[in-house]
Amino acid sequence: MRTVGVIPARGGSKRLPGKNLALLSGRPLIAHTCAAAANSREFHALYVNTDCEAIAEAAVRAGAACPALRPAHLAEDDTPTRDAVVWMLEYLAQRNERYDALVILQPTSPLRTAADIRAAMRSFRQHAPCRVTSVSPIAPTAWHARMDSNGRLTRMIGDEPLMRINGAIYIHRVSDYTTNQQPVEIAYVMPAERGIDIDARHDLDLCEFLLTRASSARDATLVETLS
């Protein structure tokens, strides 16, 4: 099975301008996704799908290729990700590059790891034919309620955890994706702390804190090992 990884990263961002190039632990945000993808060793090819030359250059430095910039009309605020990714798949097909599986990795999920990608791919292969979507648990269903237009609450019932689609990993058969087919959807569950989706400055700050804490923990473990 030939697998292509696609990192969709347009240049525009309303809530956090320049988001995909914002520095996180000293590296552009997009570099974290490129590194996780490369380290997973799951891909026959890894591409960034962008309209921005600066993003393309940062991704190339981090290990992803950018064979062409996507057209401006596919980089608007309301452009569906699918439209931009299908454009790239068609572009690659014109170069005689054809793939069986497609993995979409949004750069706004920088704490997703290579191990997450490998585990999601195992699930994709195990449950085929299917599609895989990464999720993170929120809280038990009974902790939630629906609110109507008058502010009245209806409590939800159940002990099972509600899941949030976190945007970190989407896996499809290319044939399903390009024809907009919707096979059974399988969840790949990630811890909430690895499923952060950066939309605003406070999300970026939280990721910075978590990475700093993880680095400090590794340093402390190394000190204990060498003592």
- Considering the entire predicted model, what is its pTM? 0.92
* Confidence class for position 219, pLDDT limits 50, 70, 90: low
pLDDT tens string 116-161: 999 999 999 999 999 999 999 999 999 999 999 999 999 999 989 9
C-alpha 7/C-alpha 103 separation (Å) is 9
Beta-strand relationship, 3-8 and 23-24: unpaired
pLDDT tens string 164-201: 999 999 999 999 999 999 999 999 999 999 999 999 99
DSSP 8-state code for residue 20: G
Look at 179 and 223; give whichever has higher pLDDT: 179
Beta-strand relationship, 3-8 and 101-104: parallel
- Mean pLDDT, range 17-34, rounded to an integer: 96
Distances (CA, A) of 134 to 117, 124, 213, 226: 10, 11, 24, 37
Computed over every residue of the chain, the mean pLDDT equals 93
C-alpha 35/C-alpha 20 separation (Å) is 14
CB 124 within 8 A of CB 139: no
Q: What pLDDT is stored for residue 12 in this prediction?
A: 83
pLDDT tens string 58-77: 999 999 999 999 999 999 98
CATH 3.90.550.10 matches 3-226: yes
